[in-house]
A and B are shown apart, each in its own frame.
Chain A
């Protein structure tokens, strides 16, 4: 039975090229068996072991053409291969380089011989899933980068084309984007100030964009597309890692920066991100809920161009406090320190590893965090606990309405980018409802509220387990006053009272008539 059959609909043909020299890296790694197991687990995938692949990468073009592959996974011995060369060869083989996955086997040297084969299978199968989830790039996603060695300046070098590489830059899917309603979460989150809104559209300044992926991570609508770093790709990779826990030695999941120079040891399964600050709390919590022994985030090494250390630390702190509140060891989530690697704790119970690969769980966008929190509570037997965690890095928010000050205008719901707030008219009533599972605590509802100064609405960055389990609930309801002439709606009763209080005795006569604006105008003529 192929585990991927149910989850991927017609995945693109994928070639896994394994360098034959990898077999000599770690005792216990048998490449023929590895190829067989990966082919059996990953759908529509062919595994080829190539002699001296690391030294003869050009051979990959021929192999891709021969296999008719649309996606490629390279299993190489070490990280000495320059990515630009791989990208260039991929392009010649008519593959999109942003979708090519590279798995480095050098970390397997440290793995115990009993588990090295299983770990290798897991790494490759997950890389295949990630490659198959790649949906391609558009020309607007390419950012050319021309490097020139400033130490070599000659007339010849000035008049010749320097090395060219390409970085992926985001594009905005306008079908999903809520910028026209006023959402600017991506713009605020961008550390390079590369995003701006013009005419209700988010525009990307390509020269300022550093491809960090923060915009992808914060968008509640999943409207930001960054090929190679899309939520779908990371979710597919994690689904394979987490499904395998039952038949593997305990593993931790490690979110690692794309620019990291150090490879994690074999006991940690790497999920590469453009910047580790983009790993959402939902991803960390979901991994634990699916039975991962621990989840770690590798901090930036050297000078991080994005300066987002506080963001990473904040997410970790939130997850630790939540674990603590659920009665679990908070150290299951933490920053990864290669020098002080403690042994992994035992897995969080058994049951995740049923051998099958589930549909990838949504880990980005609104609703993902609530799902992860509820799953973790279920795993830890804390579903019924009245856990309330207020934290500045809570990915969830709670909206509170003061019914005395709210006039039921519905502006908050119209502004809400996730649909957490909904405003509906039911016969002669209006109802404002709230789903805590969808709220990201952005605070746009507060900013839009005309009665903000009177405290009509507030948002707390808070994870409230009871509210999450309760689903959508009514926050406010009011009667609609109807026009005595035409029967059309005039406004909510509280809104009319508020207007009356603002107008004082001067406008009282108009309101007393009980007419809508159109009928009132008609009555004057």
Chain B
């Protein structure tokens, strides 16, 4: 995957990488939903799937946090569901004893009350431009689940574009992801992670938040560098005609 000096390495196709990133974003997104017994099996199988392909990620900087999370998920017992539900409710919804740790971007932006509506509407519009609609009875558009799921969808489209040989379109989606990452999750996840780190009883969620933070911070620069690197070598100002 990475050219390490003179050693021959197997190149990773960008389509495969995008697909694996899609799986990671989707798994993280699901993890921040209120846990259901049926989900635990999906977590385990998703973690197993990604761990089997971990060599593809081993060069990337967020790998250690990511691998720790997958190992935790792989070992998640069905019997732990009630404990997981209790922890989720305690942390993210709050109790009489503890303030909630909201998973909403707007909670971290010091927005004035009159700014909140336009912020959410802009986010809604951004999803709509990408052909997605936030269900009225679903999560708020600035919920971590929604932002990560949106990124998962973009990764899926990127993968399909690479596979179809549409490099220009794929690069456009890469830039779209980077733009969204820098304007949204990268802005508030460090603060969420700091608050989470201050609480010592978050169990699986500490690792999940740290992994999400590491992933978005990484992809925020990685995708830009990838697009710049690839764009620079695409002949004809980004067209593929005439490529060897």
Contact = CB atoms under 8 A, between A and B. Distances in A.
A9 interface: no
A151 B87 CA distance: 54
A147 B229 contact: yes
A84 B218 contact: no
B222 interface: yes
A162 B229 contact: yes
Given A148-B229, A159-B167, A160-B13, A91 B63 contact: yes
B162 A82 contact: no
Contacts of B244: 153-155
Given A84-B2, A164-B59, A164-B60, A144 B214 contact: no
B4 A139 contact: no
Contact of B233 (A82, A158, A166): A158
A158 B243 contact: yes
Given A91-B59, A146-B226, A139 B214 contact: yes
A162 B230 CA distance: 9
B222 A158 contact: no
B217 interface: yes
B138 interface: no
Given A155-B244, A158-B233, A85 B4 contact: yes
B61 A142 contact: yes
B12 A161 contact: yes
Contacts of B17: 161
Interface centre among B213, B221, B230, B240 (most CB of A within 10 A): B221
Contacts of A145: 225
A516 B234 CA distance: 72
A206 B3 CA distance: 24
B131 interface: no
B229 A142 contact: no
A143 interface: yes
Contacts of B4: 82, 84-85, 88
Given A91-B63, A155-B244, A158-B243, A206 B11 contact: no
Interface in A106-149: 138-140, 142-148
A302 B170 CA distance: 37
A161 B217 contact: no
Contacts of A92: 58, 63
B217 A142 contact: yes
Contacts of B226: 144, 146, 161-162
Given A144-B218, A206-B220, A91 B61 contact: yes
A161 B225 contact: no
A94 interface: yes
B59 A158 contact: no
Contacts of B214: 139
Contacts of B59: 88, 91, 164
A509 interface: no
A164 B57 CA distance: 11
Interface in A451-481: none
B89 interface: no
B230 A139 contact: no
Contacts of B61: 91, 139, 142, 144, 166
A159 B15 contact: yes
Contacts of B190: 138-140
B237 interface: no
B79 interface: no
Contacts of A146: 222, 225-226, 228-230
Nearest to B235: A153
Contact of A159 (B13, B224, B232): B13
A207 interface: yes
A143 B1 contact: no
Contact of B218 (A81, A142, A207): A142
A150 interface: yes
Contacts of B224: 144, 207
Contacts of B220: 206
B243 A155 contact: yes
Contacts of B221: 142-144, 206-207
A167 to B, nearest CB: 9
A62 to B, nearest CB: 15
A207 B214 CA distance: 18
Contacts of B225: 143-146, 164
A142 B5 CA distance: 22
Contacts of A140: 190, 217
B62 interface: yes
B14 interface: yes
B34 interface: no
A155 B11 CA distance: 13
A220 B241 CA distance: 55
Contacts of B14: 159-161
Given A85-B4, A207-B224, A91 B229 contact: no
A153 B217 CA distance: 29
B11 A161 contact: yes
B64 interface: yes
Nearest to B67: A94
Contacts of A163: 2-3
A157 B9 CA distance: 13
Given A91-B63, A144-B218, A150-B232, A156 B11 contact: yes
| In the complex, the 6 A-B pairs of residues with the closest C-beta atoms, listed nearest first | A139-B217, A160-B11, A144-B222, A146-B229, A85-B4, A146-B225
9 contacts: A85-B4, A92-B58, A143-B221, A144-B222, A146-B225, A153-B244, A159-B14, A159-B165, A162-B230
Interface of A: 81-82, 84-85, 88, 91-92, 94, 138-140, 142-148, 150, 153-164, 166, 206-207
Interface of B: 1-5, 7, 11-15, 17, 58-64, 162, 165, 167, 190, 213-214, 216-218, 220-222, 224-226, 228-230, 232-235, 240, 243-244
Given A92-B58, A139-B216, A164-B225, 11 more contacts: A82-B5, A88-B58, A139-B62, A142-B218, A144-B218, A144-B221, A148-B229, A148-B230, A156-B11, A159-B15, A160-B14
